[in-house]
Structure 1
Amino acid sequence: MFNIIGAIISGLVIGALARWFYPGTVEMSWIATILLGIGGSLVAGLVTSRASRDFNRAGCLASILGAMALIFLGHVLHIGM
């Protein structure tokens, strides 16, 4: 239960920071921001653990960069952002 709450809180913080650092406006709801932060953490974790067999959690900066990459991908693909 605490893992889920921790993922939601960290997703909100990571997503909000990614939206703040991303150039231009990013219009999305708080739920989408939480999902963006969680997705950014997953993307960064996959990129940083590509050489090993185990999945490693990414750091805060890598998670923000992963979330910013998802925002960019959303803008390129014109997915409701």
Structure 2
Amino acid sequence: MFNILGLIVVGLVIGVIARLIKPGRQNLSLLWTFLLGLAGALIGGIIASWLGTGDVFELNILGFIVAVIAAIVLIGAAEGFAGSKKR
């Protein structure tokens, strides 16, 4: 139970950090920021687990860095998708 709650909190933090790092203005709601941060946290945890640095739900440096990078990529993709729908 605490692992899932921790993942939710870390996902929100990762989403906010990714939006702060990514240049430009993002037209994403707080919900999308949370969901993309959560997806980035899962991706980071899975990759860190594959590399043998810990479990998916463990917070470690490598997983955190990969999670932030994944969230930045996901936010960029979401922006591109939202921008193409407006045209």
Common fold: TM-score over 0.5: yes
Deviation larger for 34-43 or 63-72:
34-43
| Structure 2 letter corresponding to 1:67 | A
Gaps of 5+ in 1: none
Aligned sequence identity (%): 36
2:64 alignment partner in structure 1: 60
Gaps of 5+ in 2: 57-61
Q: Does 1:73 align with 2:77?
A: yes
Question: What's the offset of the Cα at 1:47?
Answer: 4.8
Look at both structures and tell me which one has the larger radius of gyration over its CA atoms. 2
How far apart are the structure 1 equivalents of 2:25 and 2:71? Answer: 15
| Cα distance, 1:75–1:30 mapped onto 2, change above 3 Å | closer
Moved over 3 A (4+): 44-48
Alignment of 1:1-81 (within 5 A): 1-47=1-47, 49=50, 57=56, 59-78=63-82
Q: CA RMSD in A?
A: 2.6
- If the length of structure 1 is used for normalisation, what is the TM-score? 0.72
* Greater helix content: 2
Q: How many residues align?
A: 77
- If the length of structure 2 is used for normalisation, what is the TM-score? 0.68
Question: What's the offset of the Cα at 1:22?
Answer: 0.5
| Structure 2 letter corresponding to 1:15 | G
